[in-house]
Amino acid sequence: MRGFCKVLLAAALFVASTGLAQARDQVKIVGSSTVFPFSSFVAEELGATGKFKTPVVESTGSGGGHKLFGAGMGENTPDIANSSRRMKRSEFERAEQNGVTDISEALIGFDGIVIAQNKDDAPLKLTLEQLALATIAEVPKDGKLVPNPYTSWDQISPDLPKRPIVIYGPPTSSGTRDAFEELVIEKVAHKLGSYEKGYKKVRQDSAYVPAGENDNLIVQKLAKDKNAVGIFGYSFLEENQDTIQAATIDGVTPSLDTIAQGTYPISRSLYFYVKNAHYDKIPGLKEYVELFMSERMIGDKGALKRIGLVPLPADVREKARQKVLNRVKLTKDELQ
Amino acid sequence: MTLPTDPALHARRKAKERRFKTMSYAAILVAGVFLVFFFADILRQGLPALKQAEILVPIHFTQDILEYPESSLPPEYVPLVSRGVVRLFPNELHATPKLLGSTQERWVLATADVDQFLKGKPNRLKAKERRTAERLQSEGRLRLAWNIGFFTNGDSKLPEMAGVFAAAVGSVYVLLVTLAFSFPIGVMAAVYLEEFAPDNRLMQIIEVNINNLAAIPSILFGLLGLAIFIQFFGIPRSSSMVGGLTLGLMTLPVIIIATRAAIRAIPSAIREGAMALGATRWQVVWDHILPLALPGILTGTIIGLARAIGETAPLILVGMVAFIPQPAASFLEATSVLPAQIYTWASDSQRAFVERTAAGIVVLLVILLSMNALAIFLRTKYERKW
Amino acid sequence: MTQPLTIVLFLGLIPLAAFGYRLGRGKRLAQSATPSPFAGSAGIFGWYAVLGAAKPALAINLAALGLYLAGILSIPMPVVAASTVVAAMVGLFLALRAIQPHFRAREAIEKTIQRMLFVASLISILTTIGIVASVIFEAIHFFRLVSLWEFITGTQWNPDDALRPDGTVDSSLFGAVPLFAGTLLITCIAMSVAIPVGLFSAICMSEYASPLIRRIAKPTLEILAGIPTVVYGFFAAITVSPLVVETAGRLGLQADSTNALSPGLVMGIMIIPLVSSLADDVISAVPQNLREGSLALGAFPSETIKRVVLPAALPGIVSACLLAVSRAVGETMIVVMAAGLQPVLSANPLRGMTTVNVRIVDAFTGDQAFDSPETLSTFGLGLALLVITLGLNIISLTVIRKFRQRYE
């Protein structure tokens, strides 16, 4: 018993002694689950090639990230918040109240979603509304919402091909799905009117098959099944252009240019926010931000493109880079 | 009851009896069959991760690789070689400048897609890359080697680089904190309740409360940890301190209940004998009760700890499910733990992570089962029947 | 703040304590003329001196911490450290003065030890209070925004859209019924696996099985209980779910990959050992003479079990089942990994549906704003979860106590 207690005491002392907290020597990042893969990729790159500890990246969601980020200054708060949308004015005001006044904004790229089909199919020319009607859970009929009755594309509009609707799309857990719901279904439902505000339900019958996003399975299905249509991130289309082709949306073909210019409708910008005052305190923060904004990462041939980030146009990229590297302070008036 | 002389009735009853007996055996069989199926399935999925594709490449060390590390490899090799290898070339050149201008042949890590291709699983290789891989394989420049990195690396975004080491270290840290917190307090509380407590209202409340605490969903302990340890005491998020304390609170009732049972099993003759010799109550506890109850206490503690290090839900809420590839150096540094690592891999979209997840599960199960085996061993070896 | 604390601990108090021990022991040894036989050995006096120094030091630190955390007063660390050391020295001095030839140090120490033990046993109560408090304040905040009635009875869960542009909250979109229905359905599926299998294994082990089978079966079931839930979750999502979808497809049915059936089945397997061990206990507790009486009247074992043993053990079995339900309701990882996120109200186990626990985890990891009603809603859900599991547990404990009393 005595010996055992001594061991235990030693363990407790060990716990207490390593509790000796020195200054944090590791960058802390929180925020969006969509930016998470890119952010942790850069973090790993920094840790593997530099002299710094690998930053800790936590996926808390954009809102959760801004909450932690704006909770105050100092070692116990994150240095960077990733965000799949722009910071909200309310979030900025809250941060300001808590003493987080000197923030820089970094625009890192786009998240684009494409609709694709077999290379040999006749080109599919959709409008955003038609796409929404093919995927939405319910459609308005005689002033009421009824379960989506469309089973064939030509039922939605006569100029569409006479093909059954079979869509392989992202599962609910994916960021692509969130973006799709927001940018397609919610937008159209809002325009059509007869839906409640913020309606964004995707149909759950056999016409929409949830399938993993970064997955060869969708491409294999599309290669085999000429009726099938797939929904996935833009980078994946580019990797597989020998087997699949993209549908045009409102007459725009998805490409790096159209996504970057915003003419292609199903895309959104990705950001991160950094506390400028932390640069002096946290080793590696400066290097992390520099690495993230470098051509090697977000450039046209950058490593992040391979895992799904659509690069910004060169001039925008340069501007965004200068903005964050020169620590340009974000002001309230820029935000909504 | 009908008289047992009716042969038809007797036969019917006998058949019923047989059916009932068969069903009860079948129930045990169901559990056993599931267990076999479960382990077979996890092993089938996880064992391939023990092997890992490697590729023999010529590396040209030129000045260019400082800016574009990929230029060190022949172009057709580039998509097949893991980025985790290529990105280190500039560092290597910095460290040993005399490599400049030389060419080295070396077995290096291939990408996860090549790995999956060699294992005959779905992969994202393009047709051209697949042809290259096939050619290299026939030339003997592509092989499956033992995957040591899985046990020595931390987490990675590149499946071929990902390993369980950092998470395992984190689990040990969390285990230590949990042990240091819950064992003394649990044993002290149990000793008080069994040996010193007066029989009053407060003690009854504590009794009921401990039983309730054991049944509270683990996720609520996460909410508690978030509110008390992070928001109130300001312990850093994701640290093993916060995770360990949260799990410690969860393990406390398990240890209290086990200790009480172990103490209660000691016959009162021991206490009375010691007291008759003039020992004080604390001397009785310290010199007699605790040493005799120790095997039982340890068994309960180990089982409680095994449950704690397999727990994930409360850790999600205190921020331990994050990308943390390096083992923590202190109890206040962010760390990952094995179950959290399994959870993040399981939710990753890259298919190559599936076998990693299963292999991580195998590691976790080996640890947990050996802890349980140790508990059972202690119980059988040291348990005394009075 | 941990750094100065550690310095105080290692450079100030621990040497002081060691010093105090030597002083106390030394003083005792010097007095060794005629010690009282009940006073204890010299070392005890050393410990008494140490405790004398530690108590005021600890008290000062706790008071400072309490004031700091309550936000009343933030005393600078050096002041705390200095006063801690001074208090420890004063305490040590007083303790040393108390050491007289007839002083009973052991009694004094044991009183302190008993007090420490008492405090340790209070921690479990504090934990419960902490859990309730950490849930209830935010939950009250939430129920100020959303009416409790709509939360309990509403059938639409769509917090994303509940925040109106003018800042008010649309209560009707916080109907938790779909979430509880999902939890209920998955729990029912789990119970339909766990209760029959668990009960029959308990019957088999306590009534039929030979010692050998018992020796094999018991650890087997214990292994099932020792598998972490995240592993079950992976198994449910990666292996069982595709199997269910495929089987359903063969039968001409359409199943979602996040269907409720797979987590339910796997959770049922997970809970088997809980049911079987609790049921085994109560069945074994049924007095042997009841069985013998029945068998002596010519009843088969199965008839004895069905008509005598099980009715006698019924309260215990009911209590075991309630505990199992409570466990299923509170289980998180399996549903997080294998069930979906769609709050649909449906009785079809092949559809994807969500549960209370999934929503709690999702709100903490998802992309919603943190101070939004959705995040607050998790505390409402957590409160409901707490009430349900505590209720089930208390009922179960009461029932089993009644049962125990009957045969004791």
pLDDT digits (tens, 9 = 90+) for A271-291: 999 999 999 888 899 999 999
Q: Which domains does chain A have, with CATH numbers?
A: 23-110+269-334 (3.40.190.10), 112-267 (3.40.190.10)
Residue C393 CA to residue B321 CA, distance in Å, equals 30
Confidence of residue B173 (pLDDT cuts 50, 70, 90): very high
List, in order, residues 6 or more apart from A156 with CB less than 8 Å away: A130, A133, A134, A150
Question: What tokens appear for A291 in the block?
Answer: 């690495």
CB contacts, 8 Å: B290 with chain A: 1
A56/B323 CB distance under 8 A = yes
- Residues C270/C232, Cβ–Cβ less than 8 Å: yes
pLDDT digits (tens, 9 = 90+) for B9-64: 888 989 999 999 999 999 999 999 999 999 999 999 999 999 999 999 998 888 88
User: Subunits touching A (CB < 8 Å, at least 3 pairs)?
Assistant: B, C
Helix-, strand-, coil-residue percentages of chain A, each rounded to 5? 40, 20, 40
**A159 Cα to chain C: minimum distance (Å):** 30
In order along its 408 residues, chain C shows pLDDT tens digits of: 444 455 555 556 677 777 778 777 777 777 765 555 555 576 777 788 888 877 887 787 777 777 766 666 666 667 777 777 788 788 888 888 877 777 777 788 888 889 889 989 888 888 988 888 888 888 888 888 888 888 888 887 766 656 665 666 777 778 888 889 999 999 999 999 999 999 999 999 888 888 888 888 888 888 898 899 999 999 998 889 889 888 988 888 877 777 889 999 999 999 999 999 999 988 988 889 999 999 999 899 999 999 999 998 888 899 999 999 999 999 999 998 888 766 777 788 887 788 888 888 877 765 555 566 777 888 889 999 999 999 998 898 888 888 777 765
Residue C49 CA to residue C43 CA, distance in Å, equals 10
pLDDT of residue A214: 46
| Main-chain phi, psi angles of C84, to 5 degrees | -60, -50
A212/B234 CB distance under 8 A = no
**A94 Cα to chain C: minimum distance (Å):** 11
**C24 Cα to chain A: minimum distance (Å):** 22
Flag whether residue A174 sits within 8 Å of chain B, measured between CB atoms. Answer: yes
Residue A221 CA to residue A209 CA, distance in Å, equals 11
- Residues C292/C304, Cβ–Cβ less than 8 Å: no
Give how far Cα A323 sits from Cα of A1, A105, A107, A271, C175, Å. Answer: 64, 8, 9, 13, 45
Q: Is 80 exceeded by the pLDDT of residue B361? A: yes
B122/A8 CB distance under 8 A = no
C197/B226 CB distance under 8 A = no
Residues of C with CB under 8 A from a CB of A: 2-3, 6, 9-10, 158, 160-161, 254, 256-258, 340-342, 344, 351-352, 364-372, 375
Most distant CA pair in chain C, distance: 96
**B179 Cα to chain C: minimum distance (Å):** 15
List, in order, residues 6 or more apart from C131 with CB less than 8 Å away: B216, B220, B221, B223, B224, C386
DSSP calls for B50-100? GEEEEEEEEEE--GGGGT-GGGGS-GGGGGGB-HHHHTTHHHHHHH-GGGT
pLDDT of residue A215: 54
pLDDT of residue C1: 42
Which A positions 33-72 lie with beta carbon below 8 A of chain B? 36-37, 39-41, 43-45, 47-49, 53-54, 56-60, 68
What is the H or E stretch that residue A82 is in?
Answer: strand A80-83
Give how far Cα C188 sits from Cα of B49, B166, C237, C336, Å. Answer: 37, 39, 19, 17
DSSP calls for C314-333? HHHHHHHHHHHHHHHHH--H
List, in order, residues 6 or more apart from C12 with CB less than 8 Å away: C81, C84, C85, C88
How many pairs of residues across B and C have Cβ atoms under 8 Å apart? Answer: 253
Single out the residue of C129, C122, C106, C51 nearest to residue B188, CA to CA: C122
How remote is the C-alpha of A147 from its chain's centroid?
Answer: 30
> Checking DSSP bridges between strand A267-275 and strand A103-118, what pairing results, if any?
antiparallel
At A57, the amino acid letter reads: V
CB contacts, 8 Å: B212 with chain C: 128, 390, 393-394, 397
Residue B143 CA to residue B128 CA, distance in Å, equals 19
Q: Specify the 3-state DSSP secondary structure of C126.
A: helix
A67/C372 CB distance under 8 A = no
A21/C370 CB distance under 8 A = no
Q: Is 90 exceeded by the pLDDT of residue A258? A: no
pLDDT of residue C372: 67
pLDDT of residue B202: 87
Confidence of residue B146 (pLDDT cuts 50, 70, 90): very high
Q: What is the dihedral of CA C73, C76, C79, C82, to 10 degrees?
A: 120
Q: Specify the 3-state DSSP secondary structure of A164.
A: strand
**Protein fold of C171-406:** MetI-like fold (1.10.3720)
What is the H or E stretch that residue A245 is in?
Answer: strand A244-246
> Of the spans B65-79, B254-268, C248-262, which averages the highest pLDDT?
B254-268
A64/C364 CB distance under 8 A = yes
- Domain B165-382 CATH (choose: 3.40.50.450, 3.40.50.2300, 1.10.3720.10, 2.30.29.30): 1.10.3720.10
pLDDT of residue A267: 86
Taking CA–CA distances from A68, the nearest residue in chain C reads C370
Residue among A58, A76, A296, A305 with most chain B CBs within 10 A, to mutate: A58
A37/B157 CB distance under 8 A = yes
Question: What tokens appear for C298 in the block?
Answer: 């010519």
CB neighbours (10 Å) of residue B151? Answer: 13
Question: What tokens appear for A323 in the block?
Answer: 């903005």
Per the prediction, chain B carries an average pLDDT of: 88
Percent of all residues in chain B with a pLDDT value above 90, rounded to a whole number: 45
- Residues A300/A311, Cβ–Cβ less than 8 Å: yes
pLDDT digits (tens, 9 = 90+) for A12-54: 444 444 444 456 788 999 988 778 888 988 999 898 877 888 8
pLDDT of residue B3: 56
Question: What tokens appear for C374 in the block?
Answer: 């959705």
Q: What is the reported pTM?
A: 0.84
Which C positions 250-279 lie with beta carbon below 8 A of chain B? 269, 272-273
CB-nearest to B212 from C118, C233, C393 is C393
A172/C341 CB distance under 8 A = yes
Give how far Cα C273 sits from Cα of A140, A331, B193, C230, Å. Answer: 50, 59, 29, 17
- Which residue matches tokens 């209202």? B201
CB contacts, 8 Å: C154 with chain A: none
**Residue ranges per structural domain of chain C:** 2-134, 171-406
C226/B343 CB distance under 8 A = no
Strand ranges, E, within chain B: 51-60, 103-109, 142-146, 322-323
pLDDT of residue C32: 60
